[in-house]
Amino acid sequence: MGNKLFIHGYDAVGYGALNAGCRHFFGYPITPQNEITEFFARELPKRGGRFVQTESESSSASMVFGAAAAGVRVMTSTSSPGWGLMQETISHISMCELPCVIVDVQRGGPGQGTTRHAQTDYLNATRGGHGGYKNIVLAPSSVQECHDLMQLAFYLADKHRILTVVLADGILIQIAEYINADPIEYDGLPPKDWALTGFGKKDGRFDQIHSTRGLIPPIYKTVVEQLHEKYNRISETEVRFKTYEADDADLLLIAYGYVARCAEEAVNMARSEGLKVGLIQPVTLWPFPYAVLNEKASKGSRFLVVEDSMGQLLEDVKLGVEGKSRIDFLGMSARHVDGELGMIFPETIFKEVKRLT
Amino acid sequence: MSEQVSARKKEKIYDPRRYRSNMPNPACAGCGSPIVCGMIMSALEELDVIDKAIVVVGVGCTGMAFFGTKIDMAFCAHGSSPSVAAGIKHANYDDAIVFTIQGDGDCAAIGAGYLVNSAARADKITVFMCNNVNYGTTGGQMAPTTLLDQVTTTTPGGRDSQSHGFPLHVPEMLSTIQGVSYSARGSVSSAANYQRTKKYAKRAIQKQIDGEGLGFLEVLSACPVNWHMTPGDAAKWIDDTVMKEYPLGEFTNGQTRK
Helix ranges (DSSP H) in A70-119? 80-96
Q: What does the buried/exposed string (b/e) look like for A105-142 if buried means 16 or more CB atoms within 10 Å of the residue's CB?
A: bbbbbeeebbbbbbbbbbebbbebbeeebbbbbbbbbb
DSSP A182: P
Mean pLDDT, rounded, for B212-241: 98
- pLDDT value at residue A297: 98
Q: Which of A56, A66, A208 is nearest residue B113 as measured by Cβ atoms?
A: A56
Residue B3 has pLDDT above 70, yes or no: no
Residue B149 has pLDDT above 50, yes or no: yes
Best to test chain A binding among B70, B75, B110, B117 (most A CBs inside 10 Å): B75
Least Cα separation, residue B174 to chain A (angstroms): 17
**A9-18, B10-19, B174-183, B229-238 — which is least confidently predicted?**
B10-19
With an 8 Å Cβ cutoff, are A24 and B91 in contact?
A: yes
- pLDDT value at residue B255: 85
Q: How far apart are CA A292 and CA A307, in angstroms?
A: 19
Residues in B touching A212 (Cβ below 8 Å): 75
Q: Which of B9, B13, B92 is nearest to B56 (CA)?
A: B92
User: What is the edge-to-edge ordering of all strands in the sheet holding B249-253?
Assistant: A208-210, B72-75, B53-57, B97-103, B126-131, B215-220, B182-187, B249-253
Residue type, A96: C
**H or E, element range at B102:** strand B97-103
Q: Given pLDDT bands bounded at 50, 70 and 90, which one contains residue B15?
A: low
Q: Which of B67, B74, B93 is nearest residue A69 as measured by Cβ atoms?
A: B74
What pLDDT, in 10s, does the model give residues B185-194?
999 999 999 9
**Using CB atoms within 10 A of its CB, is residue A293 exposed (0-12), middle (13-18) or buried (19+)?**
buried
Identify the closest residue of chain B to A89 by CA–CA distance. Answer: B77
Q: How far apart are CA A206 and CA A195, in angstroms?
A: 9
- pLDDT value at residue B14: 47
Residue B101 has pLDDT above 80, yes or no: yes
What pLDDT, in 10s, does the model give residues A67-84?
999 999 999 999 999 999
**Using CB atoms within 10 A of its CB, is residue A101 exposed (0-12), middle (13-18) or buried (19+)?**
buried
Mean pLDDT, rounded, for B23-36: 92
Strand partners, B182: B215, B253
Beta-carbon contacts of A203 under 8 Å, excluding residues fewer than 6 positions away, are none
Q: Which of A64, A96, A199 is nearest residue B72 as measured by Cβ atoms?
A: A199
- Would you write out chain A's pLDDT as a tens digit for each of its 357 residues? 568 999 999 999 999 999 999 999 999 999 999 999 999 999 999 999 999 999 999 999 999 999 999 999 999 999 999 999 999 999 999 999 999 999 999 999 999 999 999 999 999 999 999 999 999 999 999 999 999 999 999 999 999 999 999 999 999 999 999 999 999 999 999 999 999 999 999 999 999 999 998 887 889 999 999 999 999 999 999 999 999 999 999 999 999 999 999 999 999 999 999 999 999 999 999 999 999 999 999 999 999 999 999 999 999 999 999 999 999 999 999 999 999 999 999 999 999 999 999
Q: How far apart are CA A96 and CA A198, in angstroms?
A: 18
DSSP A112-138: T--SSB----HHHHHH-STTS---EEE
Residue B13 has pLDDT above 70, yes or no: no
With an 8 Å Cβ cutoff, are A54 and B52 in contact?
A: no
Say what the pTM is: 0.96
Q: Given pLDDT bands bounded at 50, 70 and 90, which one contains residue B17?
A: confident
Residue B258 has pLDDT above 80, yes or no: no
B147 and B245 in contact (C-beta within 8 Å)?
Answer: yes
- pLDDT value at residue B24: 84
Q: How far apart are CA B39 and CA B220, in angstroms?
A: 13
Q: How far apart are CA A301 and CA A38, in angstroms?
A: 45
Mean pLDDT of chain A, nearest integer: 97
- pLDDT value at residue B1: 42
Left, alpha or beta for B254 (phi > 0: left; psi -120 to 50: alpha)? beta
Best to test chain B binding among A89, A206, A216 (most B CBs inside 10 Å): A206
Q: Identify the sign of the CA torsion A11, A17, A21, A24.
A: negative
- pLDDT value at residue B73: 97
Q: Given pLDDT bands bounded at 50, 70 and 90, which one contains residue B5?
A: low
- pLDDT value at residue B143: 98
Q: How far apart are CA A196 and CA B52, in angstroms?
A: 10
Residue B4 has pLDDT above 70, yes or no: no
- pLDDT value at residue A107: 97
Q: Which of A58, A68, A200 is nearest residue B80 as measured by Cβ atoms?
A: A58
B241 and B147 in contact (C-beta within 8 Å)?
Answer: yes
Residue B11 has pLDDT above 60, yes or no: no
Q: Which of A54, A70, A96 is nearest residue B83 as measured by Cβ atoms?
A: A54
With an 8 Å Cβ cutoff, are A198 and B54 in contact?
A: yes
Q: Which of B102, B170, B104 is nearest to B143 (CA)?
A: B104
3-state secondary structure (DSSP) of residue A198 = coil
Mean pLDDT, rounded, for B96-105: 98
With an 8 Å Cβ cutoff, are B53 and A198 in contact?
A: yes
- pLDDT value at residue B257: 75
Q: How far apart are CA B214 and CA B207, in angstroms?
A: 8
Q: Which of A71, A77, A122, A127 is nearest to A96 (CA)?
A: A71
Least Cα separation, residue B21 to chain A (angstroms): 11
Q: How far apart are CA B246 and CA B108, in angstroms?
A: 14
Q: Which of A148, A83, A158 is nearest to A122 (CA)?
A: A83
- On the question of a cis peptide bond just before residue A110, with omega within 30 degrees of 0, the verdict is yes
3-state secondary structure (DSSP) of residue A109 = coil
With an 8 Å Cβ cutoff, are B80 and A197 in contact?
A: no
